[in-house]
Every structure is written in structure tokens, then in C-alpha cells.
Structure 1
């Protein structure tokens, strides 16, 4: 099992992946990074979980449009594995955001 450090909107994350999948993980992380920056630029000062939630929603929206034949901007070669990984990421980010929003806030 390999470990890759990725960066999403200037935040670094250590992510495990199978050996040999490091370039693929870096590639999809770059897409998520662009979407996270788009979300932050469009919506202003978001917390980390909200910013990643909106990035995931932007990616899911783009994926849905492509599946329905709507096209849209192409950021990477259409690869079913990438699309599935992005869909799983969007689902996990939505679940994480829901969990964080439901948790009591420590002030």
C-alpha cells in the first residue's frame, strides 16, 4: 500500500492507495483541487468541510451532465475509472459534511 501526499486548496492530506496508482490519485486530486478553489472563489470564506462539499457537488454535477450527454468543460480524458472515483468521492464528501454539520460545535 502506497501513501501519497496530495494538496487541496493549500491543505495537505496523506492518502493511501494501491501501489502503482499514485499518478492516478494525483491526477484526480488536481481536479478536486481546481473545483475546491472554484468553490472558494465563487462563495467566499467557506469552512473546509463546506468547501469540499461544494467541490464534490460541482464534480457530481459535471459527471451527471456528461452521463446525460450534456457535455460541459472537459478537464480530463473521459475515463470510467476516474468518473467512478469522483462519484465515490462526492458521496463521501456529502456524508462527511452532513456528519460535521450535525456535530455539536465547540466554541
Structure 2
């Protein structure tokens, strides 16, 4: 079982861990140290046990807030998933009108005739 030295609040600790878990222990120690450093800056020298307790409580508070956010996000994800399932089960049908080619051609012919009549009328009025 490997033993590694970690530093929390400018204090060193020798801690044993399972083989291959050294990285996780160092990461956890870094998180505790990140909470301990501001405490030391604000309060100065404090007993080791108090520093570790306070840093642990601050870290636990942050973790609890993140867990609350995670639960809320999971709830929103469940609601969105239920809405997607509902929409898939009961899809909305949209009909898009398609104008037949014959109608388009007829309208184009009417437009051309109208323009021709308008031109003849203008020529008659102008002449």
C-alpha cells in the first residue's frame, strides 16, 4: 500500500492509499488545500484539526450546492425527455399546400394577357 505526502494548509501529512489511487488522493488533498488557504489568510495560524474541519465543511457545503444543481438539472432533463417522448408518440401533422403546375401556368398566362391588355390600353390613351 503506497504512502504519499500531501500538503493541506501549509502542513504536510503522510497518507496511505490503495495502489493506483494516488492521483485521486492528491486531487482530494488539493481541493481541501484550496479551501484551507483562504482560511489561513483570514484567520492566521489555527490548530490543524480546526483548519481541516473548517476546510472540510466548506468543501461539503460546495458539494451539497452542486448536488442540488445536479438534481435540478436531472429533473429538467427528465421533463425534456418526457416531452420528446410525448411529441414522438403524438406527432403534429402539418400540411403544406402545393400549387399544381397547371394552376401556376394558368396564372402566368392570365398575367401575360393582363399585361398585354394594359399595354394596348396605354397605347390607345397615349395615341
TM over 0.5: yes
Q: Secondary structure at the match of 1:68?
A: helix
Which protein has the bigger helix share?
2
User: RCO (CA 8 Å, sep 6+): is it higher in 1 or 2?
Assistant: 1
Counterpart position of 1:69: 69
CA deviation after TM superposition for structure 1 residue 46, in Å: 1.9
Structure 1 segments, 4+ long, off by >3 Å, are: none
Q: How well do the aligned residues superpose, as a CA RMSD in angstroms?
A: 1.5
Structure 2 gap ranges (5+): 71-127
- Which digits, 9 at most, give the CA deviation of each residue in 1:9-39, with x for residues without a partner? 2211110000011111111111111111122
What corresponds to 1:36 in structure 2?
A: 36
Identify the residue that residue 109 of structure 2 maps to in structure 1: none
Distance between the aligned counterparts of 2:45 and 2:18, measured in 1?
A: 35
Deviates more, 1:55-64 or 1:40-49: 40-49
So what's the TM-score if we normalise by structure 2?
0.51
What are the ranges of 5 or more consecutive residues in structure 1 without an aligned counterpart? Answer: 71-107
Match of 1:17 in 2: 17
* 1:10–1:44 Cα change, 3 Å: closer
